[in-house]
Amino acid sequence: MTIRQTFLTGLLALCILISAGVARAQGDLFAPAVFVNDRVITRYEVEQNRQFLTVLRQPGNVDELAVERLIEDALRRDAAKTAGITLTPEEVDAGMAEFAGRANLTTEEFLAAIGQNGVAPETFRAFVEAGLLWRQVIGTRFGPRAQVTDAEVDRALVLASRQSGVQVLISELVLRADSPEAEAEADRVAQRLAGQFMSEGAFAVEARARSVSQSSGAGGRLDWLPLGNLPPPIAAQVLGLAPGQVSQPFPVTNAMVLFYLRDLRETGTPEADVLAIDWAEFPVASAAEAQRVKDAVDTCDDLYGEALGLPEDRLLRETRTPAEVPSDVALELAKLDDNEGTSGFARGGQPIFLMLCARTYELPGVEPAPETPAAEGESDGETAEAGAEAEAQAAAPSGPNREQVRAQLVNQRLSSYADGYLAELRADATIRYQ
């Protein structure tokens, strides 16, 4: 073999190796990362969403958030497909323009900006499309339930005046919704009771017969609670009730909750806002074990002794704003005082000892920080726009606007329905990580 032939043979082998390497790299890039029911999320999609979240300056671990958001978007798309909801290309284009407009950019300018950071136009389009589909799913499924009455607006305006604190005396009816059959039955009961006026005794009969809460033995009756302890969407609903009236259903993980207002009173003392909630979750083998833990601990710090020698993720302790607390947890924590726990909490059939560590309240005379990080889906332009609106509201004459309050209550209610429904979809989904 001549030197030339040897050189050409070596060059050909090198080209083959390089081509094989590129093919493997491309194959790895588009390999499955997660399976969500029948949908496949590729590593490329995960990387694209990680870049997109970075561009949006999303706080938190963007590697984990990118995967979680893609899983949730897959569930949203499945829900839309089940409901027969589709979008036209023009509707998606309009949604992209609306999102880009929040940053005072055209769609083309926004795509150019994110493209400089390696984000493909298809990634932005898929993000907007999933959000629009979900908006229609929630509006179609829960829109009629989210309507707000004049009485609810009136009471919300009273609460917004902050002239005095409010305490409520309520009963609860927690209906199972952990399977399609149970959810259908819960819907049937909720449609029969929601918005109705009935005696306390009649509601207690329903609670004893149907509620899966610890309060069922007492006919669903709870003690006086500060309204501010309740999750904001529930507080808005309860405040809109008249004594003797049943609320609209409130979805939580694997359950649906109805509330009955027995009484309401003003304390005469302005109620401080809850800024953060610190709580702990400790999964146990049974309700009896949860009761044992409850009897053994006096503070949340004592739980670290109970978890000694167990896997690190066995004991979960979180501190979040009230709006960030999962709805099922928030409802239970509303009934607890600092360093008080409950042995009757469960999620997906798993008993969990749940303990409220502390509520952090706004200090009188302390102004909130002027800047906050952009939330998911917000750009710098959206944050600036919100700041401009706040300045305009501060400069405008004081006094709440009824339609703004009504819109806020509707959005809170739809948001709570959306969170609960997404949690149900995730609980029923088959999710496999590669």
Averaged pLDDT of the chain:
81
Q: Name the DSSP class of 349.
A: T
Q: How many CB atoms lie within 10 A of CB 396?
A: 9
Question: Distance between CA atoms of 81 and 76, rounded to whole angstroms?
Answer: 9
Q: Which CATH number fits domain 274-361: 3.30.750, 3.10.50, 1.10.287, 1.20.120?
A: 3.10.50
- pLDDT, residue 284, reads 92
- pLDDT, residue 161, reads 59
Domains 147-266 and 274-361 share a fold: yes
Query: Alpha carbon of 376 to those of 60, 107, 134, 186, 232: distances in Å?
Result: 10, 19, 16, 32, 20
pLDDT of 52-94, one tens digit each? Answer: 998 888 777 888 889 999 999 999 999 999 999 999 999 999 9
User: Could you please report the per-residue DSSP string of 314-327?
Assistant: GSEEEEE-GGGS-H
**CATH assignment, 25-143:** 1.10.4030.10
Q: How many CB atoms lie within 10 A of CB 264?
A: 18
Which segments of the chain have a pLDDT < 70? 1-27, 155-156, 158-164, 268-271, 363-400
Question: Distance between CA atoms of 78 and 83, rounded to whole angstroms?
Answer: 9
Residue among 341, 337, 359, 336 nearest 351 (CA): 341
- pLDDT, residue 240, reads 77
Q: CA neighbours within 13 Å on the CB side: how many for 244?
A: 3
- pLDDT, residue 365, reads 47
* Residue 134 dihedral angles phi and psi, to the nearest 5°: -65, -40
- Identify the H or E element spanning 110: helix 107-115
Question: Distance between CA atoms of 175 and 220, rounded to whole angstroms?
Answer: 12
- pLDDT, residue 250, reads 86
- pLDDT, residue 2, reads 57
Q: pTM for the full model?
A: 0.52
- pLDDT, residue 142, reads 87
- Identify the H or E element spanning 200: helix 200-210
- pLDDT, residue 238, reads 86
Order of strands across the sheet that contains 340-347: 316-320, 274-283, 350-361, 340-347
CATH 3.20.20.70 fits 147-266, yes or no: no
For the chain, the domains span: 25-143, 147-266, 274-361
